[in-house]
Amino acid sequence: MEHFKLQIGCLAVLMYIAFIYMRECRSYKVKVKLFDKLLVLGIFSVALDGATAFTVNCNEIINTPLNTVLHALFLISLDSVIFVLFLYMLHITGAFPKKKSGKAMIFLPFAANVIVVLCNIGSLEYIRGSVTNYSMGISAYTCFIMAAVYIIMSAVAFFQRWHYIESHKRASIFTYLLVLAAVTAVQMIFPETLISSIAVTIFILGIYLNLENPAIKELSHFHTETVMSFANLIENRDNSTGGHIKRTSRYVELIADELRNRGYYNEVLTKDYITNLLKAAPMHDIGKISVPDAILQKPGRLTDDEFAEMKNHAANGGDIIRETFRNLGDEDFRKMAFEVARYHHEKWNGRGYPDGLKRKNIPLCARIMAVADVFDAVSEKRCYREAMPMDKCFEIIEQGSGQDFDPLIAEIFLDIRDRVEAVHREFAESAEK
């Protein structure tokens, strides 16, 4: 027992995590993801770590073929865990390559390692240590080298694309990477310690608590749904189906993602920024709650006085956000929601409202929202007119570039026309059902 009690403890922790995770997944209807594979591999690896720690110390009663097979499975499973951890890091940072050649380069070291381990497993040596026996050989060396390579690559992905991770999660992920690297280094330098299961357990536990806890994700989803429902109530006052806020949110997401993919505003378009933007976008017309129904639902053209009243919704929306969310605790989201609500009718040339801001004095989130809002306004039927043809809608965005809209954002929007039209069709088909 003294040779594998550490592995038993780690296995108990992982089994507990698995039990809680499965129960929460059933409760919140979470689909199978990469973390599920990581958790299964982690349990399998730690169990094999304990099994080999036992067999290597009981050579007199365990036959060599069984010992060899268990060690082969353990070494491959350990590297599989490290490899999936690397894939997970690429996933959460958005760095996973899209081209087949890039994917092949990621899998190549792992495939080569498996081949080397299997080809040399027969030459594994079982060494008697002062505290416990342990195994060494080409297979073990190869396993450790591959683990080190993927840990380094994970660290590189983290530091290169840290802004793609929510700020409150960065310190935790860095800590887990540091622990993983330290434990792996100790295991390589002092092979008799047999502590690799600690690294696997700590990393999986950390990922579960900070990134994959279904209960916490459900709470975040509930917050989003509450915001969306509130926005829907406001939209429905002008005989809208609520589709406007959903469509504009999708268009905003397409624009923000494309800007980031092309390398624009890298220091601004962090994971936190885009998350807050997508939560704030549905609140852009919250100020309409202060506009009388007679104006909101008027089927004809508004008078000058009525239009002046309608324009007040932008300033009023900012005031409502500032007052309603002042005790929210999330200052970044509150600021984002305020800027989207107040400034989404500002124009690039300074002729918008309510403050007449121009060019980059208009917050980026509001410049993105402006394009999405106008496109949806002209592409959908309103109480006072029919929807415009799609070509005309994109022509309006093109003509407004450099006047009404940030020319870069307008260009991005026009470049992703196929994706915008796909979203538009998706909502149109959904409305017909």
Running DSSP on this structure, what letter comes out for residue 380?
Answer: S
Contacts (Cβ under 8 Å, ≥6 apart) of 111: none
The answer to whether residue 28 scores a pLDDT higher than 80 is no
Assign 62 a pLDDT band (cuts: 50, 70, 90): confident
pLDDT at 241: 45
Among candidate residues 116, 131, 125, the one with its CA nearest the CA of residue 67: 125
Q: Cα(53)–Cα(5) distance, rounded to whole angstroms? A: 9
Q: What are phi and psi of 304, to 5 degrees?
A: -60, -40
**pLDDT, tens digit, for every residue of 154-202?**
999 888 888 888 887 888 888 888 988 998 889 888 888 888 899 899 9
Contact 269, 259 (CB under 8 A): yes
Average pLDDT of the segment spanning 78-100: 86
pLDDT at 401: 96
Query: 282: which 2 tokens?
Result: 């549905």
Domain ranges of the chain: 5-212, 216-432
CA dihedral 11, 12, 18, 24 (to 10 degrees): -160
Alpha carbon 325 to chain centroid distance? 25
Contact 276, 340 (CB under 8 A): no
* Cα angle: 12, vertex 92, 143; to 5 degrees: 55
Q: Could you tell me which residue, 340 or 134, shows the higher pLDDT?
A: 340
Give how far Cα 227 sits from Cα of 93, 206, 233, 281, 285, Å.
26, 29, 10, 10, 12
pLDDT at 216: 72
**pLDDT, tens digit, for every residue of 354-401?**
999 999 999 999 999 999 999 998 998 776 667 789 999 999 999 999
Give how far Cα 112 sits from Cα of 78, 90, 101, 287, 368, Å.
15, 20, 16, 60, 46
Give how far Cα 131 sits from Cα of 35, 141, 193, 404, 426, Å.
35, 21, 9, 75, 65
Assign 326 a pLDDT band (cuts: 50, 70, 90): confident
Q: Could you tell me which residue, 341 or 27, shows the higher pLDDT?
A: 341
pLDDT at 376: 92
CA dihedral 409, 411, 417, 423 (to 10 degrees): 0
pLDDT at 189: 87
**pLDDT, tens digit, for every residue of 235-276?**
666 655 457 888 999 999 999 999 998 989 988 998 889 989
Average pLDDT of the segment spanning 104-128: 89
E strands of 124-276, at which residues? 125-127, 134-136
Contact 313, 287 (CB under 8 A): yes
pLDDT at 237: 61
Helix, coil or strand: residue 405: strand
Architecture per CATH, domain 216-432, reads as Orthogonal Bundle (1.10)
The CATH code for residues 5-212 is 1.20.1070
Length of the chain: 433
Mean pLDDT of the residues in the chain = 87
Q: Cα(244)–Cα(232) distance, rounded to whole angstroms? A: 9
Query: 41: which 2 tokens?
Result: 């591999």
The answer to whether residue 9 scores a pLDDT higher than 80 is yes
DSSP line for 312-374:
HHHHHHHHHHHHHTTTSS-HHHHHHHHHHHHHTT--TTS--SSS---GGGS-HHHHHHHHHHH
pLDDT at 299: 76
pLDDT at 341: 94
Average pLDDT of the segment spanning 91-117: 85
The answer to whether residue 121 scores a pLDDT higher than 50 is yes
At position 404, the amino acid (one-letter code) is D
Average pLDDT of the segment spanning 298-314: 85
**pLDDT, tens digit, for every residue of 40-50?**
999 999 999 99
